[in-house]
Amino acid sequence: MAKRRVPVPHHDPSADWTRSTTHTSAKGRHIGPGTEFSVYGEPGRFRFVEHVTTPAGVEWVTGHGGPRKVRVCRSFRPERIKRVHTKKTYVSPEEARRLVNEKNRAKREAAR
């Protein structure tokens, strides 16, 4: 008769980790889900996924991306973030005109 296997208790080492979907870079730039950033010593751009901190104080930023045609999931120390890239949002001509009018109206009222 075969020896009965005893189940091994499972311990999740990442249970105590603190995961966050936002991070502020060393240069003060806010990074949220999907924000692109560049890393010192790495080619290409990465899209932010999460910021992780362990109870021991070790922290890293996880991102998807890399050089063209090579997409990987990588983790980096936060101090290695070189630049946070932002995209300009599209503003319709009507919305732009309304914003300019509000700005000019505020200037005229301040000058009175």
Interacting residues of 51 by C-beta distance below 8 A, sequence separation 6+: 19, 20, 21, 22, 23, 31, 59, 60, 61, 62, 78
pLDDT tens digits for 90-111? 667 788 888 889 989 988 888 8
pLDDT at 60: 95
Look at residue 97 and give its three-state secondary structure: helix
Look at residue 95 and give its three-state secondary structure: helix
Is the pLDDT confidence value at 1 over 80? Answer: no
pLDDT tens digits for 13-65? 888 899 999 988 888 888 888 889 999 999 999 999 999 999 999 999 999 99
Tell me how far apart the alpha carbons of residues 34 and 68 are, in angstroms, rounded to a whole number: 17
63 near 74, Cβ under 8 Å? yes
> Among 5-14, 56-65, 72-81, 87-96, which stretch is predicted with the lowest mean pLDDT?
87-96
Q: What is residue 9's DSSP assignment?
A: P
pLDDT at 19: 92
Interacting residues of 2 by C-beta distance below 8 A, sequence separation 6+: none
pLDDT at 38: 93
pLDDT at 81: 93
pLDDT at 26: 82
Full DSSP string of 11-44 = --GGGG-EEES-EE-TTS-EE-TT-EEEETT--S
pLDDT at 99: 84
pLDDT at 88: 64
Look at residue 51 and give its three-state secondary structure: strand
